[in-house]
Amino acid sequence: MNNEKQLEKFDVLLIEENPTHATLIIDQWNTVNTAKKSNVTHVRSVTDALDSLKTNTFSVLVLDLDSSETPAIESLSQILKASPATPVIALATTDEDALSTEVIQKGAQDYLIKAELTGPILYRTVRHAIERKKQLISLTLHNENLQAFAQAASHDLKAPLGNIKTISQIVLEEAGTSLEYPVLEMLRSLPVIANRLKKLIDDLLRFSLLGHKSLQLDHISLRSSIKIACEFLEEQIRNQGATIKIGPLDDVDADAALMTTVFQNLIGNACKYVKDVSPVICINTKTEGRFVVTMVQDNGIGIPEKEQQRIFEPLKRAVNASDYEGTGLGLSMVKRIIEAHQGQVWVESEPGEGSTFFFTIPQANSYTAS
């Protein structure tokens, strides 16, 4: 660090309400940057910082979270909205786990305690924050390109399937009565095959996009997610005479849309994989440690023990499920969603005795920074 040639030039925007604290921070910075290669611009408020960002570009922004002008998270949100490409380092007087976790989740690259601040620590943190931001921007761009490719591929693959379905229907209408039985049956199967392929493409697209969706965590009612899922499955539930029994449910901090997808897949499977009975699905929760455990129990065909792990892998289905329609992606989506919430999913089942699917979601305010 004593070799001035090794120091990079950084333009730092420091938002610090207290002039004394600002002077101490700048002094610490200057103990490392003795060549004055880096410039520190000090402003006392977020408002002043926003004005400065309109006309200047900074390598990094150091944000005092103790400002009396604006709450910490609101300050961070305003800064990121005004300059989303600028890495942000949060400064605080005290070490608060909840606050540090939240600011990182909201987009800051690091969190430092003023009393522990030294020139070398600040310099290393600035360098690492800039590098992390570059990697994040690169990864975001890469994911956006993948998402665009997946959507384009999905569209291009589904177009010929629509043509196959339409042409087969026209042939059946025009020449159906003159065709021999085996040929007629093959023609009739084409729309069914096309529909299955279309569903597989749709499921593959949804599965590929799950990794690019950031969690929108809210305090939600699982009962509400189940209700919406059942609305999506209304025709299937009605046609099969399914009964949904909902017991006591705990609220959780989760992504409401993704939790609806979880229940849609689990309830849909419970309705589908039955034999000679009307589906009965029981849903309830219990609390274990810092987790809420949700249980979805059915009276279906059950799953052999050796299949109970592989059914959560993409495109894998239990051997006794081969006679039922499905793409083998539903439970993979469930697993990916639950793991994104820092939870786990598993099943307990016996062939012919039904299955109980379990998944865990951390309780409110129990998330850890990833």
Q: What integer pLDDT is reported at residue 336 of this predicted model?
A: 87
Is 223 found in the same domain as 156? Answer: no
- Tell me which residue of 163, 159, 158, 148 sits closest to 201, measured CA to CA: 158
Kindly state whether residue 124 falls inside one of the protein's structural domains: no
Q: What integer pLDDT is reported at residue 14 of this predicted model?
A: 94
CA–CA dist 263, 254 (Å, integer):
13
CATH number at residue 340: 3.30.565.10
Kindly state whether residue 172 falls inside one of the protein's structural domains: yes
Residues in the chain: 370
Q: What integer pLDDT is reported at residue 93 of this predicted model?
A: 86
Kindly state whether residue 42 falls inside one of the protein's structural domains: yes
Asked which of 212, 236, 262 is the last residue of a domain, the reply is: 212
Is 268 found in the same domain as 189? Answer: no
- pLDDT mean values, one per 10 residues, the chain (370 residues): 56 91 89 71 91 90 84 89 91 85 88 89 90 85 70 73 82 77 79 72 67 72 89 86 91 86 91 88 91 93 84 64 60 88 90 91 63
Q: What integer pLDDT is reported at residue 209 of this predicted model?
A: 67
Kindly state whether residue 127 falls inside one of the protein's structural domains: no
Asked which of 212, 242, 272 is the last residue of a domain, the reply is: 212
Other CB atoms closer than 10 Å to residue 165's CB: what's the count? 18
Kindly state whether residue 199 falls inside one of the protein's structural domains: yes
Is 182 found in the same domain as 86? Answer: no
CATH number at residue 90: 3.40.50.2300
Q: What integer pLDDT is reported at residue 283 of this predicted model?
A: 96
Q: Is 0.85 surpassed by the pTM of this model?
A: no
Kindly state whether residue 175 falls inside one of the protein's structural domains: yes
Is 167 found in the same domain as 148? Answer: yes
Is 226 found in the same domain as 207? Answer: no
| Residues in contact with 209: Cβ distance below 8 Å, sequence separation at least 6, in sequence order | 147, 150
Is 319 found in the same domain as 238? Answer: yes
**Structurally, how many domains does the chain consist of?**
3
CA–CA dist 55, 50 (Å, integer):
9
**Domain limits for position 92:** 4-117
Token representation of residue 274: 């039955």
Residue type, 316: K
Token representation of residue 256: 């409401």
Kindly state whether residue 51 falls inside one of the protein's structural domains: yes
Kindly state whether residue 341 falls inside one of the protein's structural domains: yes
